[in-house]
Amino acid sequence: MSTQQHAPEHMPEHMPEHTPRRYTSAALTSGVVVAATCFVVALLAEIAGTEPGAGEMTDLRAVLDGLLTFTPWAWATLGVYAVVVTPVVGLVVTAWEYSSVGERRTMGLAIAVFAVLATSAVVAVLR
């Protein structure tokens, strides 16, 4: 009995034997877990009666100070950061995974979507 996996006979030669997705899946799952954890901490801090706090999401010093004092606003902000960053990290990891098996088309698509996201972010910031 062999432990090697073989590509089906109908699979084109340029396709990898398996679809690389282990690290992409791990990146996306990790992002969701981090975001959910931050939101749960924010909720628990709110239930515990901690001062909710408020501030600008772009004031990283205020966010850091709020995280250290368990301010619900800061923990929710960190969760939002995780939600925003997760797809970007997922695209970068996807491009890397597919490039590692020579699948240029899928790698290129991931890079193109990343470029659209980056352009949208720049336009949003400049407006």
Q: What is the pLDDT of residues 79-122, one digit of tens each?
A: 999 999 999 999 899 988 888 888 888 888 889 998 998 899 88
With 60 as the cut, is the pLDDT of residue 19 above it? Answer: yes
Nearest-angstrom CA–CA distance, 13 and 109: 20
Two tokens at 67?
């995280």
- Strand, helix or coil at 34? helix
SS3 115: helix
What does the pLDDT read at residue 32?
Answer: 96
What is the rounded CA–CA span in Å between residue 118 and residue 103?
23
The larger pLDDT score, comparing residue 42 to residue 106, is at: 42
Does 49 map to a domain?
yes
- 42 three-state secondary structure: helix
The domain in which residue 88 lies consists of: 22-126
Residue 3 inside a domain? The answer is no
Out of 8-12, 44-48, 112-116, least confident range: 8-12
Structure pTM? 0.72
Distance (Å, whole) CA 78 – CA 33: 12
Over 80: is that where the pLDDT of 126 sits?
yes
* CB neighbour list of residue 74: distance below 8 Å, 6 or more residues apart: 42, 53, 55, 62, 63, 64, 65, 66, 67
Which DSSP string corresponds to 72-92? HHHHHHHHHHHHHHHHHHHHH
In a domain, 2, yes or no: no
In a domain, 15, yes or no: no
Provide the domain count of the chain. 1
Q: 95: closest CA among 75, 79, 115?
A: 115
Residue 48 lies in a domain: yes
Q: Mean pLDDT for the chain?
A: 84
Q: Is 8 within the bounds of a domain?
A: no
